[in-house]
Each structure stands twice: as structure tokens, then as C-alpha cells.
Amino acid sequence: MSRIAPTLAALAAQGRKALIPYVMAGHPGLGVTVPLMHAMVSAGANIIELGIPFSDPMADGPVIQKAGEAALRLGVGTSDVLAMVREFRAQDRTTPVVLMGYANPVECYNLQHGADGFVKDAAAAGVDGVLIVDYPPEECEAFAATLRAHDLDLIFLLAPTSTDARMDLVARVASGYVYYVSLKGVTGAGHLDTAAVEAMLPRIRQHVSVPVGVGFGIRDAQTAQAIGRVADAVVIGSRLIQLLESSPQGQEIAEVESFLRNVRQALDA
Amino acid sequence: MGAEDVKRQSPNVYRMKLLGATVVPVESGSRTLKDALNEALRDWVTHVENTFYIIGTVAGPHPYPMMVRDFQSVIGEECLTQMPAMHGRQPDAVVACVGGGSNAMGIFYPYIEHAGTRLIGVEAAGEGLESGKHSASLQRGAPGVLHGNRTYILQDANGQITETHSVSAGLDYPGVGPEHAYLKDIGRAEYVGVTDSEALEAFHYLCRTEGIIPALESSHAIAYAMKLARTMPSTAAILVNLSGRGDKDIGTVADLSQADFYCRPSCRGQSVKGGAEQVIWIQP
């Protein structure tokens, strides 16, 4: 078992919601990511999603696209991302880390490091879960089995358009939590409807037994609070990346930390 | 459409606008076909309730490669019927250009079971297969996943999709339809490369000899058919898929040939990816 289920179970026992920030590995600079991860934990993050940059991020809006392009310009590859997790893990042995990315960098890593190379090396680095946007459940049973063998969770996205049959399919391979995409669109979009999310969550829970996180379009503490009333976890990504971009140099980490502290307070209120 | 291709294919863009379409130039990534696909998929998931996603090539998530193949295979079925009627027998070889691979898959598909007919896909070798500036996914790519299909992909050591180059916008794509990857792996089809300058030479040759202005994409197939013909007996038959008209490309060709073209304000050379100085066309 990875650190994810115990972490979420402990929060649930306290009646608290998980705060899951997403940042892009290597953005806005190579040396920023690991200190940023520690700062987010101290601000109240419970699980960290770390993006693996990809040249063609089909599910991402312009904010995360640009962050990925910036990381790629710095030469960040999959092994660099794993190295960042290893460095984070040297000081933090409890906070779960989920890698979020696309299939091709993973497949390419496996071509070079052996069939299960990515999963083995991710497990050794201290990764807890993996979310591969373009691995549909019917195409990744072998990948899911390898992850399970290494005690890693496979996180799946569900969308407002997911059918009951689709949710059942996801439920068969998903572990850790499922990530409900709160709107029809890409990451960082601005048209989140909290009432629609509230209406969807009970339907998801009929099919999926693992906790449900909600993300895509959560931009402030109030929205996080509203979502937290119905979901088990709140995921925030694009907003953090915008903060990292807009903050004066040297202030980036402090800005994100203070933003997340506010969200944490709103979630715990 | 990728912003680069909006420039390169401006007559097609204008034609679409005349017919009432809104053409959105995509400025992300390499601003070509793959980026337009990314953006179309993003738009689709955002407006899924009132939007259909359609694609003109045999790539993308299932069932698109299958659907496009079946629609495109009308040409192959017609050839299968008409070749014996017009020529007395089936061809010894079928030659078609391959970017995403729709026209090639369409003409190959009914011939797959005709073992006597060689199937030859011609990829854009750009400035040469060794130059790194090409779009030859089947010849120089590695297996991977892009746009929802597993196929050969031009990528770097980290699995990032690399920028491609071809004088023809329709071949400028770093992946290829998965069924072509399959035909290559089982050895049923052969895949070869033709450079920008060879394609341009074939473009001019067909204009002068047949009075047909071929698309720059199809000019790759013509260039290879001309090479192949020299190696075959005069009784052999080669079937070439002339998949598109070159009207849309005459501005590009004029630029590359240093010819005046209605004093086009697009600035000679600048409208062409790579620049005129990088492509040498030899007057036939």
C-alpha cells in the first residue's frame, strides 16, 4: 500500500479534507521544485501532484502548457523528475507524491530502462501514485498490475461526461483516489459550477469506493471550501502556477505557501 | 490550423473562409498540424455537448483511424475495379505519400490481400533523413503514444515530440496512423523517403508533362514513382495516388523557385517554413 490511502483515511477520520496542490516539475526553475514541495507541505498540503513536462499536453490549458514548455527548455526529463522526488523524500517520508503526465515520456523511459523501468524507478524514488492522462482504463491493465506490484496507486480522471459504465471500468483499476474533472474543459478553465459538482459526486460514489478528489478550475479559497463540502480532496494547479509566474523572483515559494495556507484554513473552517 | 500552416496553405484558408468557416490559427508548440490536433482536442472536451471532433487522417484515438480508413478506401476499391478494366490487371506497385497516412491507407487497404502488389508509402524526407529536418516517422521514429494512438513517433530521448519539417504542410506531422505502423511491422508495406527538393522537381515535372498541378504532398509519391519506374521493366504498372491538387501550393512553389507570384505580399521565402535558401530546386 502506498502512503495515499492511509493519508486520506487519517484525514477522513478527523473530518478533514485533503489539499492536493499540483506543480510542474522544474517550473519556474530547476532548483525551485523541491523547496516548493516542502513549503506546500508546511502550508497544509496533504498530497503533492508533480507534473512531468510533455511537449503535447492535450488536457492542459495555456497556463500549465507554458509551465511545461518552460521546464522543457530547461531540459527537464523523466529521470530529473524522479530525482526531484528522491530529493524531496530524503527529508519528507510521509507526504504522498503523485506524478501526473502523459503516456509518451513514460513509454520512452521504459524503452530505455526496461519494460517496467518507470514504475520500478518511481517506486524507488518514493513516488506513491501515477496519473497518466492518456492511458484509458481499457488500455492499461498491465500497467496497473505493475504499479500494484510495486505498491503504487493508479489515479484516474473522471469527467462530467463519464457514463456509469465508464465509472465501473475506472473503479476496477483505480486505487488511491479518483480525480474528478470538475468541468468540461482543460486545466485552469474558469467556468466551474460548484452546484453541478455537488450533484455529480453522489453518482461517482455509487461506482467508485476510493476517495474522490476534485480539480480543474479551482482558483480560490472560497471555491475550494465549497468543493471541500462534497469532495474528499481538492486539487489546485493552474492558480499555483500563475502565482509562481507573477511573483517577484525569490518570492515565488512564499506566495504559494501563503495562498495554500488560506485555502487550508478555509477547508478546515 | 497551425499558424505556420495558415501561412503555407493560405489559399485553402481563404477557400474555407469563403464557404463560411472560422479558421483559428494555433500559436502553441511548433504551430503546425500536431498543435492544431492538440487544440482541436482541447476545444472538443470544453464544448463536448455541441461539438463533433473530426479529423482528416488515419491517426488519433479509436475509432478515428478506422473510420477515416474506411472512408478513404473508396479510392482503393475503385482502383481495384478499374485497374483490370483499364490496364488489364492489377498494378505491380501502389505508391502514395504518407504524413498521417490517410490517402495511402485508403488506396493500400483493398490491396493488402493482393500479395502481388507492392505497397509503397513515401514519407517526407525534408532536407534529408540524416539532417534531422524531416517528417519520416516510420523510418526514423520510435514506438510511442501521441493523440491517443500507439504508433511510430518522432521523439527525443525524453519522449518529447520533436519538431518536424517538410515543404508540404500535409506531411509535416511527427506521428503516423497506427495501421501504417502495423503494415510496416508485418512487412506488408514499404516506407521510403523523398526530400523537399525531389518533391519540388516532381511537382514541376508533372506540371510540364501532364498539365496536372499536383499537391506538394502527392509530389512526394510522384517523385518516388519516377525513381521506382527506372528499376522496373517497361511492362510493369505503377499506380500512384495523386491525392491532392497543387493550386493551394503554387505560392509556396513560386517562393521556393524564386519566381514572381502576383507580387504576393507574403514576402518571398518568409512564408515557407525553413526558408527558401534551404531548399534547392533544380530546373528540369
pLDDT digits (tens, 9 = 90+) for B54-101: 888 999 999 999 999 999 999 999 999 999 999 999 999 999 999 999
Sheet with strand A97-101: strands edge to edge: A153-154, A129-132, A97-101, A48-51, A18-24, A233-236, A212-215, A178-181, A156-158
Could B29 and A111 be called an inter-chain contact, meaning their C-beta atoms sit closer than 8 Å? Answer: no
C-beta of residue B32 within 8 angstroms of C-beta of residue B169:
yes
- Write out chain B residues lying below 8 Å of A77, CB-based: 157-158
Split at pLDDT 50, 70, 90, the class of A195 is confident
Determine the average pLDDT of the residues in A64-70.
Answer: 95
ipTM of this complex: 0.92
A196-229: per-residue pLDDT in tens? 889 999 999 999 999 999 998 899 999 999 999 9
What gap in Å lies between CA A252 and CA A12, rounded to an integer?
A: 31
- The pLDDT, as a whole number, for residue B31 is 87
Q: Is the pLDDT of residue A49 over 70?
A: yes
Grid coordinates given for A119: 514504475
Query: Which of A66, A81, A104 to substitute to test the interface with B, most B CBs within 10 Å?
Result: A104
Pairing type for strands A233-236 and A18-24 reads parallel
Q: What percent of chain A has pLDDT over 70?
A: 100
Question: What pLDDT was estimated at residue A182?
Answer: 83
Residues of A marked active site are found at 49, 60
Shortest CB distance from B144 goes to which of A57, A107, A186? Answer: A107
- The pLDDT of A53-66, averaged and rounded, is 94
**Sheet containing B118-126: which strands, arranged edge to edge?**
B189-195, B118-126, B93-98, B238-240
pLDDT on residue B188: 98
Rg (CA), chain A: 17
Do A215 and A41 meet the contact criterion of CB atoms below 8 Å apart? no
pLDDT at A12 over 50: yes
Task: Quote the mean pLDDT of chain A.
Answer: 95
Q: Can you give the pLDDT at residue B75?
A: 97
B42 in contact with chain A, both atoms CB, cutoff 8 A: yes
Test A185 with B46 for CB contact under 8 angstroms: yes
* Higher pLDDT, residue B193 or B265: B193
Tell me whether A101 touches chain B (CB under 8 Å).
no
- How many contacts does A have with B, using Cβ atoms within 8 A? 73
A95 Cβ neighbours under 8 A, 6+ residues apart: A3, A7, A37, A41, A45, A46, A47, A48
Q: What is the mean pLDDT of residues A53-68?
A: 94
Residue type, B85: A
User: Contact at 8 Å (CB) between B279 and B172?
Assistant: no
Residue B33 sits at the chain A interface (C-beta within 8 Å)? no
Identify the burial level of B49 via C-beta atoms within 10 angstroms of its C-beta, where 0-12 means exposed, 13-18 middle and 19 or more buried.
exposed
Q: Are strands A18-24 and A48-51 parallel, antiparallel or unpaired?
A: parallel
Looking at the complex, does the CB of residue A65 fall below 8 Å from at least one CB of chain B? yes
Distance CA A98, CA A129 (A): 4
Residues 149-168 of A with CB under 8 A from B: 159, 161
pLDDT at residue B261, as a whole number:
66
Q: Out of A52-61, A219-228, B2-11, B93-102, which region has the weakest mean confidence (pLDDT)?
A: B2-11
Residue of B34, B46, B143 with shortest CB distance to A189: B46
Mutate to test the interface with B, among A24, A52, A54, A56 (most CBs of B within 10 A): A56
Query: Torsion-angle region of residue A14: left (phi > 0), alpha (psi -120 to 50) or beta?
Result: alpha
The grid coordinates of residue A112 equal 530505455
Q: With an 8 Å Cβ cutoff, is B17 touching chain A?
A: no
* pLDDT (mean) for B113-134: 97
- What is the least distance, in Å, from the CA of B66 to any CA of chain A? 17
pLDDT-derived band at B277, boundaries 50, 70, 90: very low
pLDDT for residue B33:
87
CB contact under 8 A, B29 and A55: yes
Q: Is B132 on the interface with A (CB under 8 A)?
A: no
In Å, how far is A87's CA from the nearest CA of chain B?
20
- The residue of A65, A78, A108, A216 whose CB has the most chain B CBs within 10 angstroms, and thus the best one to mutate to test that interface, is A108
pLDDT at B267 over 50: no
Q: Which residue of A has its CA nearest to B31?
A: A56
Residue A153, pLDDT above cutoff 70: yes
* A182 Cβ under 8 Å from any chain B Cβ: no
pLDDT tens, position by position, B245-263:
999 898 889 888 887 765 5
Amino acid at A50: L
B38–chain A Cβ distance below 8 A for any pair: yes
